[in-house]
Structure 1
Amino acid sequence: MSKLILGIDAGNHMAKVAGPYGTDCYRTAICDWFERDIVESHGADDMEFEINERKGFAGSIAVYEDEFGGGSMFGDTKAHEDTKIRVLLAIYRYGKKYGIDITDVSLVTGQPIVSHKDADKKRIQDMLTGHHSFTVNDENISFNIVEVGVGAEGSGAFWSDVEDGALRIIDIGSGTINAASIVSKRYINNASSTFNFGMETVNNKEDLAGVARGIIRNTTILKWDRADNVRLCGGIAKDILPFIEQHYGNAALIRPTLQEGSRIVVADPVFANAIGFYKLARNAFG
């Protein structure tokens, strides 16, 4: 096919992809390869891969089989090899899901706000751009990534559900939480940040009230006001919203909209960054 344009949110817990045919997601756990005595299926996203001479498992299988636990590299930057593997597997899965013979890809992916610096962005662009040949589940995969943009997580989600005026965005991830301030479609640096905790790194991930208090404390340091228009995205957004609303009365979920063929679909808030990145990619590379 001709050039495919995608938005890819290569998260520490899930990779989310948005493009012209719809969305996809998979569990981004990765572990080293080993000989299996019993070949057990752990999920529809189980993948055995070899990329750049690194052999391993990805998806649900890696959650269960990783001897070092967790299966994900956390931190406040995506400029590392695991991101490359997550993105390549995301493109492979998108092609399989929608029956696309992919040759050339242009994409926008994300980086936490605190690390959205030129050096880290260039590192991500350099490691993704170019020709890639690898194997997944004994299938030979080959395509070119011809253009790469790097957006800021949180503020990227804004473009999935554009609103006028002043907006605060809370993007709740597994390893970090991004807080972005947008005024008249412009990003405000001194009222935005990345908090170095997420739903997979807190001591008690079931304590949503406690996580909400942590978010509220950190955003008030940024001088966010109780009356601000706050929008939430991320996998836990729906569940944590009632606790955020106790302080920010004008809080609501982001409603990401995506055109799938002739239909306009409202997606789950977990896809907000991916859809925002896709719209940015389409404008930049379309």
Structure 2
Amino acid sequence: MIVGIDWGNYRTKICTDTTVESFPSDILPYRTQKVTNSMRKYDFIFEYNGRRGIAGELAHDERTLLDRNKRGDTKLHEDALIRALLALSTLSLTEPVRLVVGQPIARHNADKDDIRRMLIGTHEITVNNVKRRIIVDDVAVGVEGGSAALAGLPSKSKSYYIDIGSGTINFASVSSGRFINAESDTVSRGMENIAGGNESIAESIRNITIDLGWSPNASVQLIGGGAEELSEYLGYPPLYSIYNGKTYPPEFANVIGYYRIGERLWRK
């Protein structure tokens, strides 16, 4: 089974051949519930590798001002692994998984092999008192921002993608399906940790595109959770992806791109 997972800092997105969904990425240490509520699809109480916690909508509801999700320019950490396993636990898995995930541009090459090692293999996780055995057969690591090129209409000309997340902003340059390293980068700040309002954030983004040498005549599209909010300030359109006949907002562009990478690699 091919699965794309965008394990973002704010929301975790899932894409399969039939499903495009998301849930909050919050993970907190286990807390005794004073009142027992009915469990929703994305309410998780988990145990993994000696660690017990709550996640998903349950953790999002219970978080306090002192709680923070793990941020940074890499997904090489246990919180990301747990998000992926929780996402897979929501699927009816009858066979090993072939998985495509994302990694910020700045540390893609540095960490992709370790991310593959972290994910490939057999994992045992208990979710809501049910023990799950998840087998990950193979893993590909996509580029955050750049993978969205597969979520939109094919283009042979140079295109730029600005992936505006809660904890990072990725600047991706793609030409004829090839990633242009010299014109791409990651900023380890996002919508939740940049000082100033939307105009200030947009001005910072514009300055970075100038530093990267982006052509003023090329297409620029916005993806990620901050795309719609910043579109009017930047003057660039959000990328709305069409998948299985439905249109999805720009925060799903990466994960749809990841799934299409998986199709190209493994679909027979």
TM-score range, shorter chain: over 0.9
Does 2:127 correspond to 1:136?
yes
Q: CA deviation at 1:6?
A: 0.9
Does 2:76 correspond to 1:79?
yes
Please report the TM-score for the alignment, with normalisation by the length of structure 2: 0.93
3-state secondary structure, aligned to 2:237: strand
CA distance in 2, matches of 1:189, 1:178: 12
CA distance in 2, matches of 1:116, 1:66: 30
Matched with 2:256 is: 275
CA distance in 2, matches of 1:185, 1:166: 9
Does 2:198 correspond to 1:217?
no
Q: 1:284 aligns with which of 258, 265, 268?
A: 265
Does 2:225 correspond to 1:228?
no
Q: AA paired with 2:238?
A: L
Q: Provide runs of 4+ in structure 1 moved above 6 Å.
A: none
Matched with 1:20 is: 17
Q: CA deviation at 1:102?
A: 3.4
The alpha-carbon distance between structure 1 residues 52 and 258, as it changes in their structure 2 partners (threshold 3 A), is: same
Matched with 2:161 is: 169
CA distance in 1, matches of 2:89, 2:96: 12
- For structure 1, list consecutive stretches of 5 or more residues without a partner in the other structure: 246-250
CA contact (8 A) 1:29 1:72 kept: yes
The alpha-carbon distance between structure 1 residues 211 and 42, as it changes in their structure 2 partners (threshold 3 A), is: farther
- For structure 2, list consecutive stretches of 5 or more residues without a partner in the other structure: none
The alpha-carbon distance between structure 1 residues 195 and 137, as it changes in their structure 2 partners (threshold 3 A), is: same
RMSD of aligned residue pairs (Cα, Å): 1.8
Tell me the percent identity.
35
Where do residues 1-286 of structure 1 align in structure 2 (5 Å cutoff)? 4-40=1-37, 45-66=42-63, 69-93=66-90, 95=91, 100-117=92-109, 119-161=110-152, 162-204=154-196, 207-245=197-235, 251-259=236-244, 264-286=245-267
CA contact (8 A) 1:63 1:70 kept: no
3-state secondary structure, aligned to 1:50: strand
Q: CA deviation at 1:42?
A: 9.2
Q: How many residues align?
A: 266
Q: CA deviation at 1:31?
A: 0.8
3-state secondary structure, aligned to 1:175: coil
The one-character-per-residue Cα deviations of 1:94-126 (angstroms, maximum 9, x if unpaired) are x1xxxx243311011000000112x41111111
Q: AA paired with 1:275?
A: I
Please report the TM-score for the alignment, with normalisation by the length of structure 1: 0.87
